[in-house]
């Protein structure tokens, strides 16, 4: 049974898994990586407005075989009574970037998550 190692990045620190887990398939390793993300986020999110969580899965040879990410962003909307000192709405540069990139922001590129390709809408003929 192969051993998979789960390295965790919590937005500030990367923790390298030195022990690993024996799993039967790569699909089980991918499911384990996805299951780790909410637990990591739950402990870290209170009090933050932006954080990237990434679980990188390595095989026994040390090769990266899978990567799962959870990107968290929170922002008060303009003129909604946000607490004093809280950011209100996206900065103008973010709004311009979102308009140019189709509404999503590139994030986590340093961890292998770059901009997603834009999807084309296909309308069905009636």
Q: What domains appear along the chain, each with residue ranges and CATH number?
A: 1-73 (2.60.40), 76-104 (no CATH)
pLDDT tens-digit readout, 42-88: 877 777 788 899 999 999 999 999 999 999 888 877 766 666 666 55
More confident residue, 22 or 107: 22
Cβ contact 94:102 at 8 Å: no
The mean pLDDT value of the chain amounts to 75
Q: How confident is the model at residue 89 (pLDDT cuts 50, 70, 90)?
A: low
**CA separation for the pair 50, 101 (Å, rounded):** 19
- The two tokens of residue 113 are 């998550």
**DSSP strands (E only) in 10-97:** 14-15, 21-22, 50-58, 64-73
């Amino acid at each position: 049974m192969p051993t998979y190692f789960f390295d965790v990045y919590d937005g500030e620190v990367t923790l390298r898994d030195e022990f690993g887990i024996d799993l039967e398939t790569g699909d089980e390793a991918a499911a384990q990586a996805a299951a780790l993300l909410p637990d990591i986020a739950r402990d870290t999110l209170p009090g933050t407005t932006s954080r990237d969580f990434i679980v990188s899965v390595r095989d026994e040879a040390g090769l990266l075989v899978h990567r799962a990410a959870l990107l968290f962003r929170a922002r008060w909307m303009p003129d909604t009574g946000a607490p004093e000192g809280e950011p209100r709405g996206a900065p103008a540069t973010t709004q311009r970037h979102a308009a140019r990139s189709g509404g999503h922001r590139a994030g986590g590129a340093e961890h292998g998550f770059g901009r997603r390709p834009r999807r084309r809408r296909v309308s069905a003929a009636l």
